[in-house]
Chains A and B, each alone.
Chain A
Amino acid sequence: MSVSEQVVPATTGAATSEDAPQAHDATAAPHHTSTGLSNEKLGMWLFLGSECLLFGGLISAFLLYRSKDVEDMVGPAVDELYDIPFTSVSSFVLLMSSLTMVLALSAIQRADHRRARTWLLTTAMLGASFVAGQVYEFTAFVREGLGYTTNLQSSAFYTLTGFHGVHVTLGILMLVSLFVMSLRGRLTADRAETVEIVGLYWHFVDVVWIIIFTLIYLVPA
């Protein structure tokens, strides 16, 4: 239940009467919006809708170059260098980070701050493991002769997965920020929506990887 949907009783003495003026305080009813929904949450969903266009373009570019860039291609093809078992483990790690993220949200909504911090930190560490795996994969590819400018396929591949990796990294920074806020006592249960919004971003990053892993790694060229 987000902040905008919580029923919060007013605590000022004058608030018990319908006719008495309501004094403003931090625990009063949430900010009114024309939709009745949280503007911040709506903004995040709108942003994620636009991110579909970004990643759609990058994925399409890679699929196109992979199918076209064959005849006079310099260097190895991307498919020849995939380590599917290794990438599968990375994918599983990112998937589990979505679980820990949603458990963190559940914990903060119950005002279980210790558990929320545990799950937030776990999510960040799983995300960091994923990024480390990507860095390892990139260095392995470069060692095999597939650099960023080797051919069209490689450029598209590194751009796509690199953009995704940057998104994951930004997500990790947000998670660490939430963790620090919680340590300082600034992440209270009535600010659970903040965790929810970061969670939406994180889950989207996972969902994009679900698509990338299938279309780029598993579907044969």
Chain B
Amino acid sequence: MTRAAAEEHEAQTEHEGRAHPSDRNYVVIALILAVLTALEVATYYVEEQLGGFLVPALMVMMVVKFAMVVMWFMHLRFDSNLFTRMFVSGLVLAIGVYVVALTTFQFFG
């Protein structure tokens, strides 16, 4: 590969993605996920005390865990935006379609 092509490729690489996390970062992410899982399980034992906060708390923790795995473990945060658009499109479509379907069947009351 020529020097000019190498420099162009390096610029493109920098534009497309940032440096990936280190192994230590991955372990820290995993520990955070483990703590969130423990908190989720803990809600099972204090269901009555949480009352109306139970479902929102579980939803928030679920979304945070989902986002952390997708962004860090799946490298979506560090890769090209095109991958993000591909995945998020499918996700948004799925959520939209099935919220409409559940609403049709009066799932949300």
Interface residues of A (CB under 8 A from B): 1, 5, 7-10, 15, 18, 28-29, 35-37, 41-42, 45-46, 48-53, 55-57, 59-60, 63-64, 67-68, 84-85, 88, 91-92, 95-96, 98-99, 101-103, 106, 196, 199-200, 203-204, 206-207, 210-211, 213-215, 218-220
Contacts and interface: CB of A to CB of B under 8 A. Distances in A.
Interface string B82-94: 1100110111011
B108 to A, nearest CB: 10
Contact of A49 (B4, B47, B61, B87): B87
A136 B43 CA distance: 24
B76 to A, nearest CB: 9
A99 B10 contact: no
24 contacts: A7-B10, A10-B1, A18-B4, A36-B12, A36-B16, A37-B80, A37-B82, A41-B83, A42-B82, A45-B83, A48-B87, A53-B93, A56-B95, A59-B98, A95-B33, A99-B30, A102-B73, A106-B22, A106-B26, A200-B74, A203-B69, A206-B69, A207-B69, A211-B66
Contacts of A214: 40, 58-59, 61-62
Contacts of B2: 18
Judged by DSSP, the binding face of B is helix
B66 A49 contact: no
Given A7-B10, A196-B75, A214-B61, 15 more contacts: A36-B16, A42-B86, A46-B86, A48-B87, A52-B87, A53-B94, A53-B97, A56-B97, A60-B98, A88-B37, A98-B30, A99-B29, A101-B73, A210-B65, A218-B43
Given A41-B83, A52-B94, A63-B102, A207 B66 contact: yes
B28 to A, nearest CB: 10
Q: Which of B9, B34, B61 has the most CB of A within 10 A?
A: B9
Using C-beta atoms within 8 Å of the partner chain, give the interface range for chain B.
35 or more
Nearest to B30: A99
B46 interface: no
A218 B44 contact: yes
A118 to B, nearest CB: 13
Contacts of A92: 34, 37
A104 to B, nearest CB: 11
A99 B26 contact: yes
A99 B27 contact: yes
